[in-house]
Structure 1
Amino acid sequence: MTQAGRKLPVSALQLCRERILDNEYRGALTRLKIHSHTIKLKDFDLGWSHKVIAKFSQEKVDALMEICKLFQGQAESAYEQICKEVESYDLAPVQVEHGDYIGAMAQMLQPAWWNRRFCRLRREALDAIARDIGLVSQRRARYSSDQANWLFAEQTVRNQIYLEESHLVNEQGEEVSLAEVAEHTLANPQVRRAEMMCRLNGFERVADLHGDDAVFFTLTCPSRFHANLSSGIRNPRADGSTPREAQQWLCHNWALIRSALNRRGISPYG
């Protein structure tokens, strides 16, 4: 149980049982004890459902609106107070452009703005915990935890329901559902994959015309970014880096690679 009396995710409890069977119960219990304190971030519970998060987002906006009333006529001060609340959840506030504090605040005073970020925060935090307790490895879920896959599937269903229930009407009165429109756009995974393969084939043909070689590289992160070894056991070299930090490392190093190639007069395209 957590400090607030809530149960841990089923996946964590299942892992505990499996590790007990594997005679690794001490390590499992230690990790579960550590992560039982990270199930909540301030007053935001990572175990909440999508509906509860939506309600919490509305309540957050209502509270911020009351704060803004205290700073009526002081847009900059009100903006700073809202930013403090946003940053307290490890979220990035909207940046002010051209001194437009009102416009920046207007975005952060929308329930949808908070809802999207809270859902992403929940997804990333739960995925990081799943990695730490060994739910993501070569022996279990290779790329993402079962919990992450379930959340993605749930979101996909919600998106599909929204598209099917929303319709477009043209000037002639013809009506079509957004689901039908999305089926023929990049919102459709099959269409998106077909376009990617078409682009790859096209770039290879362009390379052939220019006498270049078309190559495909896969960049990977150093061992310290991987929580578990391919055997499924804890990686002793892991330093606790999150997937987001790993992605930032890849972006930084790709920028260095591009700079090095540019100094050599090599200009990748594609």
Structure 2
Amino acid sequence: MVRILLFCLALLAAGPAFAIRPFAKYWARPDTLGLKYQDLTLTTPDHVHLAAWLIEPTAGVPTQHTTVVVAGGDAGNMASNIYTAASLAGAGYRVLLFDYRGFGHSDAFAINQDYLYYAEFATDTRTALAEARRRSPGQRVGLVGFSMGSLVGSEAAATTRCDFLVTVAYVASLQNVVAYYQRIRPERPIMLPADAAAYRRVAPKVKCPWLFISGTDDQATTLADTLAVAHAASRRQQREVLPVPGDHQQSMGAFVEEETSSRCLEAMRRLLAAGKG
């Protein structure tokens, strides 16, 4: 119960969804939860330095021989995801958390909070994937992306070697997300990067096994939009949708909440097992 309360407080502190609001200060570190980890500095192709934590599987747990890169949402920093990392580490996964540029202890980056996302965040995610693969020879390396992290994470998976993709609150339609937020808060514009028109072509290019975790009451990144993308896949593209109770913000705790964590971990295990074939 204490874990869930602290997780919810971290989400509330991070602010509303789809408002880019980075925090510089970490409210906790992995060793706060007793996790063994290394501090890393990643360097992107455009010479930006990103802060990262590489977290080892929990001692005594059978290893999955798999490294999971976690692409976070649009607010806070990588400390917002340490409970998710603890859940994954407790299931035998190695976990790489990282801060996008302008977040946490990564290099500064000018951010207009009216933007839905920045294309540079996909570059940061690709850099994290490449570093995880370099540090995990012989292991599967994949990505778990939350909300905005599902958007830039799918772009990274479509353009970088990625063994599996798990998205929570997947941004299936930029247009529908923008329309939703313009409807509920018309006083604030939502801006998109110059290359946003190409986003609709990203999902068909993702070839690795893909698990969509979607809140049944999510009005921003809806289950219907997610199902439409999953059903549009070709026969050779392995895709599974796991509905979970809750709205957009509540779905961020999919790997943490007692009601859903075991289901999400089991769905992920099945995805990886099927991907071996």
Rg bigger for which structure? Answer: 1
Larger RCO, structure (CA 8 Å, separation 6 or more) = 2
TM-score by length of 2: 0.25
Higher helix share: 1
Higher strand share: 2
TM-score by length of 1: 0.26
